[in-house]
Amino acid sequence: MSTTLYVSNLPLSATEEVLTGKFGKFGAVVSVKFDSSNAANARRRGAFVEMRTATDAQQAINGLNLADFDGRLMAVYIALAGVVAH
């Protein structure tokens, strides 16, 4: 069963391809979708990254939470239930 992560504080240089590459180092990435609710506030840009397994998701959290991404420390955590990627 897949697990969806929420990634916040992303730089504007973040793309689906770049995020797939970063998260793919920790397991299989099913999808990447940017959070359109933050589109007006570029400084708080976020994305949903769906990982194939919970183990892959936890490895991505361990490896990428508070990691530098183009001068920004991104936060990576399991998305809350009921939160839907736009």
Q: Note whether residue 41 is domain-resident.
A: yes
- For the domain that residue 55 is a member of, what is the CATH number? 3.30.70.330
Q: What is the pLDDT along the chain (86 residues), one digit of tens a residue?
A: 899 999 999 998 899 999 999 999 999 999 999 987 655 555 558 999 999 999 999 999 999 999 999 999 999 999 986 555 54
Q: Note whether residue 85 is domain-resident.
A: no
Its domain, for residue 11, covers 3-78
DSSP string, 8-32: ES--TT--HHHHHHHHHTTS-EEEE
pLDDT at residue 86, as a whole number: 45
pLDDT at residue 42, as a whole number: 54
Q: Note whether residue 33 is domain-resident.
A: yes
Give me the number of domains the chain comprises. Answer: 1
Q: Note whether residue 13 is domain-resident.
A: yes
Q: Note whether residue 51 is domain-resident.
A: yes
Q: What is the pTM of this model?
A: 0.86
Q: Note whether residue 25 is domain-resident.
A: yes
- Where do the H-state alpha helices sit in 1-86? 16-24, 54-64
Rg (CA), the chain: 12
Burial grade of 83 (CB within 10 A; 0-12, 13-18, 19 or more): exposed
pLDDT at residue 2, as a whole number: 94
Q: Note whether residue 20 is domain-resident.
A: yes
